[in-house]
Each structure stands twice: as C-alpha cells, then as structure tokens.
Structure 1
Amino acid sequence: MTVTVDVTAQLIAQRIASTIDPVFAMIDGWRDAVERAIATEPEPRAATLDPIIAALVAPELERPGSLITGAGFVATPGFLLDAPWHLAWWLSGANTFRAAPDAGLRRLDAVNDPDSEQFRDYTTLEWWRVPERTGTRHLTGPYVDYLCTDDYTVTITTPVMAAGELAGMVGTDLYVARLERVLLPVIRESGHPCSLVNASGRIVTSTDPHRATGALLRLDGLVDALTPLRNAVTETDAAVLPSGATIVPCGDTSLALVLEG
C-alpha cells in the first residue's frame, strides 16, 4: 500500500539521514582501511594494527563539534595472534567516562582477560551480534553503555572481513544527549507530536516530554512496521499504524520518525 507522507515529514527524515550519513561514510572508510591493513599482514597482531586504528579515529575524535565520543576496532576472539580478546578503542576529551584530568584523547582501558571478574564477552552484545549475523552496518541504542560511556549512547558498527572471515568490527559511539541537541530542533518542525525511534522502536528523542529517551514506544503495529529496518532493508516505505500514526524511515539509517496526531 502506498502511503502519502507530508512533505515536511519527508524533508525532516532526509535531514536526519543527512546528519547520520557522514558518520556511516566515515566508518565505512575506516573499515576499508583496516581491511587493507590486515590484508598485508599474514599474521595480524594488535601491536601492528593498533597504531593504524589510532591514526584513523583520532582526527575525528579530536575535531571540534564532532558527534562521536569514542571509536575504534574490536577483534574477533582469536583473530589477533598476540591478543585473543582485544578492543582498540579510543575516547575523546568530550567522553566523560573515567575522564582523564587533561580531558584529552585516551584509550579505553578494557579488561581482556576472560578469567577476570570484570571481563565482559563483547560478542554477546547487540552491536556485535547483529552485524555478525547480517554482515552489514548496525545502529544499536539508545542504551546505557557501561563499557565505554556510562551514559545513554548510540553505537554504530560494521563488520571487518579478512579472507572471507569476520576479523572484527569497526565502529563509533555517540552520546544521545549530543544527538538530541542536533536532531530535536529538526523534528519539532513537523508540527506533530513526533518521536525518532530505532529499528526496535526504542526512542532516540521525542517532542513529547512523556516519551523518555531509551524507552520503547508502545504503539499497536509499530514493531511490525519496523521489521524491514531490523532486517537491514535499505528501501523501506512509509507506513500507517492502526492508531493513525505515520512511520517515515530516515534513509538507510535504520531510524524512523513516528508522527502521531
């Protein structure tokens, strides 16, 4: 069924996509660079790969006004000869998680020993599991990221391949509060009560103060309408819910506008 969508809503969805798309393009570029670096190493090691990752992500993490607060590479367990479990992840000065006194760029102090009580198997987390399954980029969140930010976060990850096998993920973290400052003024232009949700129906930001960030938006039919986004279908049509709310996908970001009333 073809759904007629207000032109303003379409433009807002396009503007949201245009905010996220440069982050996607940046991550895709990192992936390509990491895959090229790995291809030159018959026995990939963290000792040689980590400086490459740092050089890739540092410029954007240090750029004034950047949306991202953390970025790097997470290796498939056992892929790197000298680091069975490995996160090469850097945090910007704007990242308040265990901030350094000088508020400068710093590396995440991750626990990589499976025998430690503080160890966390990152392959069980959504930002790993979904792109591992789909083979494509994935946006996780909003969720409280106790590993890297300790605050509501959106994480974008994409698979890195080596000889047809998964070598790991490259990705980035964005504070939801920072995204809200950029996106909320845009969605307010819709003239409707409006929420921006992820592919699971979890609220990123909303014009309704009763719609809390990170909460699930519970509308009849919403989960089914968002199924194509969860399945990484890039060409997704608008839809109307039984309540009359309209769902407008925001490009291939896996985000959608929900306009009520």
Structure 2
Amino acid sequence: MPTTLDAAVRECVDAIDRTFGGVFARIDAWRTLIEAYVDQHDGAPTVDSIDRLVESITVPELSVDGALVIGAGFVATPGFLPDAEWHLAWWLGHSNTFGVGSADPAIRRLLAEENPESESFRDYTTLEWWRVPTTTGARHVTGPYVDYLCTDDYTLTLTMPAYHGDRLIGVVGADLYVNDVERALLAHLRGLEAATVVNASGRVVVSTDPHRPTGSLLRTSGERIPCATVGVALVLG
C-alpha cells in the first residue's frame, strides 16, 4: 500500500504537471497552427499576416478570467519574415500591468523596438527563452526572472521552437507571473514538510521554505523528483 507521503508527493507532481503541462499544450497547439500557416504561404508570410494569425489564436486564451497566461505569441527568427528582419508578434493579457501605469490594463499588442539601430533595441536571440529551445529543439521553462521586456515582474517564460521543414522560423511561447504559479501550487506543496519546485538550472520557482526565495539557486542534496514537464522538478528536503 502506498504511504501517505507517497500520495502527497504524487499529488504535488500531478499538480505541477497540470499547471505547466496545460500551458505547454496551448503553446504546442499555437505552434501547430503557425507552422501550418507558414507552410501554406510557402515559408514566406508577411508581418501583417503573421500578426493577424497570432492575435486570433492567443487573444482568446488571454481573455479568459483568471487565466494563468498573461502574455503570449510568436517571435520570429531574424530574417525569416521577408518584410521585417526582427519581429515579435506578442500580445499582453488584461492581467498584465506592464507599461500601463495607473490605467486599467487591456489586452494589447506588445510594442517592442525592432530597429537594431535604436538604443532601446534588444537582440532577443541572446536571451535564454530563445537560446535554449532553439539549441535543444525542445520546450523550455525560463525563470523566475524579472522580465523587463514584457512584464516588469517575476516571470516564467515557457517556449518551444517552430519550424518550416528543417528551417527554424522562431519560437512560440507564453509568460506567467510567478505569483500566479505560487497560488496554483502552494496548496498542494503544503502537504509536504519541505517542498520546492525548481527549473532545470536549480532556480527556485516556488517553495514552502521561507529561506528559499523565488529566483534563488537551490543548493541541496534533497531528493529531486523530475516532472513530466521538461525542465521542472520537485525537490524534497
């Protein structure tokens, strides 16, 4: 017979996989639609057409009350789009307060600088959420980190690469506030005496231990239980 601890651990792992796996399932569905659209346009869609597609598939998710996803979209490989060297087709949800000041946030397009000659331009291909999945070809969880590009708050960015044939055309992804992930998982983690969710680099996502703050590196010999979601694990002790 399984012990109570075994059952509590399984419940935690299941909750982690439901939380992250559900978001990755949405990203994978968006990726499939984007890849199919690019195939239909002989691998050369325009900026406007990509923007319309990404808006149509991500905004319904961002419009759901209480949605975990607070931003989502497609970031193109430099040179992929014939009419833009660099491009982010990214939308922010109404729970994302980035750049709105005291105003009530609404669903809106992220206005990112795409001119490499501008002082505010940032080469996104150097960032982890781009660099790792485009190197490994697999889904990736970046963070927690303070995202100065899209949220200005502790954020997790989930991404996976998209292709046209063998050609990398960009990444598809979603942003989550760490606070929202904590609310989704802490009730399950509290069933264990000491439990911490970490990313692939051992950085703390959420923990029941107040001495393990979000974003810190966990250095422990505690038992690590991999979750089905790539790059996320539950550490006990």
TM-score bracket, shorter-length normalisation = over 0.9
Match of 2:166 in 1: 164
Instruction: Report whether the alignment pairs 1:88 with 2:65.
Output: no
Match of 2:139 in 1: 137
Counterpart amino acid of 1:40?
Q
Counterpart amino acid of 1:212?
P
1:90 positional shift = 0.4
Contact 1:20–1:253 under 8 Å retained in 2: no
Match of 2:27 in 1: 27
Contact 2:196–2:236 under 8 Å retained in 1: yes
Cα separation, 2, equivalents of 1:253 and 1:181: 21
Structure 1 unaligned spans of 5+: 220-240
Counterpart amino acid of 2:19?
T
Cα separation, 2, equivalents of 1:97 and 1:103: 8
Counterpart amino acid of 1:258?
V
SS at match of 1:181: helix
Q: For residues 1-261 of structure 1, what are the structure 2 equivalents within 5 Å?
A: 6-42=6-42, 43-99=44-100, 101-190=103-192, 192-219=193-220, 241=221, 245-260=222-237
Counterpart amino acid of 1:39?
D
Cα separation, 1, equivalents of 2:100 and 2:232: 30
Structure 2 unaligned spans of 5+: none
1:38 positional shift = 0.5
Cα separation, 1, equivalents of 2:65 and 2:34: 25
Contact 1:10–1:248 under 8 Å retained in 2: no
1:45 positional shift = 1.2
Number of residue pairs the alignment of both structures matches? 231
1:102 positional shift = 4.3
Percent identity, please.
52
Contact 2:203–2:217 under 8 Å retained in 1: yes
What is the root-mean-square deviation in Å for CA atoms of aligned residues? 1.3
1:253 positional shift = 3.8
Cα separation, 2, equivalents of 1:204 and 1:142: 6
What do the CA deviations read for 1:155-174 (whole angstroms, capped 9, x no partner)?
00111101210000110000
Match of 1:223 in 2: none
Cα separation, 1, equivalents of 2:154 and 2:60: 24
